[in-house]
Chain A
Amino acid sequence: MKKLLLGEQGLLVIFALAFALVSVLVPNFLTERNMLGLLQSVVTAGIVACTMMFCLAARDFDLSVGSTVAFTGMVAVMVSNATGSIPLGLLAALACGWAVGFINGFVIAKFNINTLITTLATMQVVRGLALIASDGRAVGINDPAFINTALSKPSGIPTPIWVLVALFALFGFVLNRTVFGKNTLAIGGNPEASRLAGVKVDRTRIHIFALQGLACAIAGILLTSRITSGQPNAAVGLELSVISACVLGGVSLAGGRATMTGVIVGVMIMGMAENAMNLLNIPAFYQYLVRGVILLLAVLLDNLRSSALGHR
């Protein structure tokens, strides 16, 4: 039992046990409708977690993701409303997301400014831009085709879930099977050694942040489409739940260690806890408490696991 819980797949085992337990104990949990709802609810966090995993694996992190999701969603709505073209709106949102990430990465890597300070600053700047652009109000989507992006159900499953699954697969591949992914992990393991081994550390870090911005834009577009309007106050606090999910999934804050399956499980555990509490009508205030406790337990478990591995 101990071996099972503390082994490589320990988290997966715990998730499976928790899932089984919740299915039995919580009525209406294991239904098709609820399962799709659960997946829908983790789309935003899941997409952003894919790239946050790269940030963390390279010893960085990004606090501006929540603001970027809101801002790019707003850009998508406003540009498509103004031009009457949805593709143009989406492109503008993607470009803005990329730009925010690029600026983060450029400032951090080239000017050697602390990651916390830089992304804390852009987090506020970008949120400010979202509020200024919309004058603090929600902006409704004019073209129903945009709303249909999130409502459409190819093969009976909503588009956002398809996108989420595709991104999980894509970033899992990028992490393990590309030079970029391996360089990311190497930078997290030892940045100076990686530089002396010919890895372009600065450039890789900038790419990681730019990719993070792009992922935020995708999440922002899907979120906007689902709630049928651009909300300047959307996704507040997203950065913390995404980092929590990654850490829960075994991504090391010290860098150099990350797996896509871990992050998926981390995201799912967070989503499942919230979903189960909603079904049980537990007030939202308690949900904060439970999320915090889950995170602490996960980190403790990780600690136990590392020391168990160290003994071998």
Chain B
Amino acid sequence: MRPLATHASFGVEKGAVHGLMGENGAGSSTLIKIHSGDLAANGGSISIDGTELVYASARDAFDAGVIVIHQELQLVPELTVADNLTLGRFAASAGVISRRRMIEHVSRRLREAGIEIDPRRKVKRLSIGERQMVEIAKAVMLDARVIALDEPTSSLSSHESEVLFRLIERLRAEGKVILYVSHRLDEIFHLCDSMSVLSDGRLAVHHPVLADVTREQIVAEMVGREISDIWGWHPRPLGETRLKAEGISGENLPRPASFDLRAGEILGFFGLIGAGRSELMRLIFGADPRPSGRVLLDGQPVAASDPHGMIRAGLVLCSEDHKHDGIVQGRSIEENITISSRRHSSRWGILNPRAEAATADRFIEKLRVRTPSRHQDILNLSGGNQQKVILGRWLSEQGIRVLIVDEPTRGIDVGAKSEIYELLYQLAEGGMAIIVVSSELPEVMGICDRLLVMCEGRISAELPRANFDEAAILSAALPDRASLAS
């Protein structure tokens, strides 16, 4: 979460929709969270109808009439729509709920809001779009004055989005204030009366009127940051094509993706959150089942399509969320490093403790993992050091030809970051082919030789280092939908 470094002030009129836009981590979600009381503001104030609100918790914000609809919806799937809408406020007499009265009440309120959903249906049977409607209906029933929507269309079909937009129009007509966070410029132009652009945790520009604002202008405003060279990149000779990914697709990545990677090359994958980068990498590594597409290493197709086989073929992945699927909790640093490479020193399935200890110590020293000993439980390490242990796990393997690192520097401090960059350069110089997936634009621009941009599950642009340009990259990363004309 990015701190909002400088203050972000703006006012929104009653009955208006205000758009908030920014690159990943620019602060729009943080701002929304302050509004909903999930995060406390360090300074500044929020006022509704001229009265300043002071709230310490989500409950206070709720009581003040501010309701935030998050990307992850908060409904109980096993209950019906009516149950969800009256949860905690059942119309009960003597503890007995009158089901008929409840459903009548909910139907009336849904009709008033213009939402056509049968209140007797279970939430788990609704589409994501319908669930979102139910969330909004909940906000309306709670007499919200300010409704904030965080990326509401990210998982909606275009038809569902239109229904949502009509509902938003209606709420506006009723005099509600809507805060609308989105990466989609066309939606903002379509829906909003005014907008703010956030960049690096500050309010870059406030547009009270959207009439003459252009897409190019907003992209330029989102960029607006200084770049200094803390990356230490040097040109490197590149070898032959090492990895060829052909028509990779799977459940979470419907459109097939293909790309090449040369030996010694550092290839960046940039995109907004949810663009499909991690999904593509997981498919290549075989972490998720890969129904179609093939992976070639040094021209040879790899038969395996599970992590076990890919590691043996020489392709490894450091996943994005190492707390969830990288580290083995409760086990030592040593075991976390040698979990894969121990097969080289063991014979007949029997371990060689001396060789394992030596391997662990070697990578603890090489990667400068800060720990008193290799026997430490990995949970006692900081995030950056855990990340290094996972890197050590793969570097201690033999014959690794392709290293994929997903968000290698998320949540770690600057010092550890530059150590990791330095290591990546060293490995590339040794001929390893490296893919860096990152949501930090300066990072991918700083360390990569070439960049692929993904947007909504497909590769939308390819840029060699000479053509790196923030505006061009961001523009390729932003979805652009023509379906909103109606």
Q: Which residues of A contact B (CB under 8 A)?
A: 177-180, 182-183, 185-186, 188-190, 192-200, 252, 256-257
Contact = CB atoms under 8 A, between A and B. Distances in A.
A190 B335 contact: no
- The interface centre, meaning the residue of B308, B326, B327 with most chain A CB atoms within 10 A of its CB, is B308
B287 interface: yes
B346 interface: yes
A310 to B, nearest CB: 10
B335 A182 contact: yes
B325 interface: yes
Contacts of B312: 198
Contact of B325 (A186, A188, A190): A190
B353 A256 contact: no
A179 B317 contact: no
Interface stretch (B61-69, B126-134, B240-248, B336-344): B336-344
A195 B350 contact: no
A177 B350 contact: yes
B328 A193 contact: yes
A137 B356 CA distance: 54
B283 to A, nearest CB: 13
A88 B3 CA distance: 73
B343 A192 contact: no
A179 B307 contact: no
Contact of B308 (A180, A189, A199): A199
Contact of A186 (B319, B335, B353): B335
A309 to B, nearest CB: 9
Given A178-B350, A179-B349, A186-B335, A196 B329 contact: no
Contacts of B327: 190, 193
Given A179-B343, A196-B307, A197-B340, A186 B350 contact: no
Interface string B287-320: 1000000000000000000011001100001010
Contacts of A199: 308, 339-340
Given A179-B350, A189-B330, A197-B339, 19 more contacts: A177-B350, A178-B349, A179-B342, A179-B351, A182-B339, A182-B342, A182-B351, A186-B335, A189-B329, A195-B307, A196-B317, A197-B307, A197-B311, A198-B312, A199-B340, A252-B330, A256-B328, A256-B329, A257-B330
B401 interface: no
Contacts, number: 74
Contacts of B287: 195-196
Contacts of B285: 196
B308 A198 contact: yes
B234 interface: no
Nearest to A180: B349
B393 interface: yes
Contacts of B393: 197
A199 B312 CA distance: 11
Interface in B77-108: none
Judged by DSSP, the binding face of A is helix
11 contacts: A177-B350, A178-B350, A179-B351, A185-B335, A189-B331, A190-B327, A193-B325, A195-B287, A198-B307, A200-B308, A257-B330
Contacts of B317: 196
A76 to B, nearest CB: 29
Nearest to A254: B330
B351 A177 contact: yes
A52 to B, nearest CB: 19
Contact of A196 (B319, B349, B351): B319
Contact of A256 (B326, B330, B343): B330
Contacts of A198: 307-308, 311-312, 339-340
A207 B393 CA distance: 25
B307 A256 contact: no
A180 B342 CA distance: 11
Contacts of B349: 178-180
Nearest to A255: B330
B340 A186 contact: no
A294 B64 CA distance: 53
Nearest to A173: B350
- The interface centre, meaning the residue of A180, A182, A183, A197 with most chain B CB atoms within 10 A of its CB, is A197
A299 to B, nearest CB: 18
Nearest to B335: A182
A180 B324 CA distance: 23
Nearest to B350: A178
A180 B348 CA distance: 10
A194 B328 contact: yes
Contacts of B328: 186, 189-190, 193-194, 197, 256
Contacts of B335: 182, 185-186
Contacts of A195: 287, 307
B339 A194 contact: yes
Cβ-closest 10 pairs across A and B: A189-B328, A256-B330, A198-B311, A192-B325, A190-B328, A197-B339, A198-B340, A198-B308, A189-B330, A186-B328
A181 to B, nearest CB: 8
B324 A192 contact: yes
A290 to B, nearest CB: 31
- The interface centre, meaning the residue of B307, B317, B327 with most chain A CB atoms within 10 A of its CB, is B307
Nearest to A182: B335
A185 B331 contact: yes
A193 B328 CA distance: 6
A198 B311 CA distance: 7
Given A179-B342, A198-B311, A200-B308, A193 B326 contact: yes
B324 A186 contact: no
Nearest to A252: B330
- The interface centre, meaning the residue of B317, B329, B353 with most chain A CB atoms within 10 A of its CB, is B329
- The interface centre, meaning the residue of A186, A188, A190 with most chain B CB atoms within 10 A of its CB, is A190
Given A186-B339, A195-B307, A178 B325 contact: no
A188 B329 CA distance: 9
A258 to B, nearest CB: 11
B29 to A, nearest CB: 26
Nearest to A312: B380
Contacts of A192: 324-325
Contacts of A189: 328-331
Contacts of A256: 328-331
A23 B349 CA distance: 43
Contacts of A177: 350-351, 353
A197 B319 CA distance: 10
A252 B311 CA distance: 30
B331 A186 contact: yes
Contact of A179 (B308, B329, B346): B346
B396 to A, nearest CB: 11
Contacts of A185: 331, 335
Interface in B140-175: none
A179 B308 CA distance: 14
A202 to B, nearest CB: 10
A198 B330 CA distance: 19
B129 to A, nearest CB: 30
A186 B325 CA distance: 12
Interface string B243-273: 0000000000000000000000000000000
Nearest to B322: A193
Contacts of B339: 182-183, 186, 194, 197-199
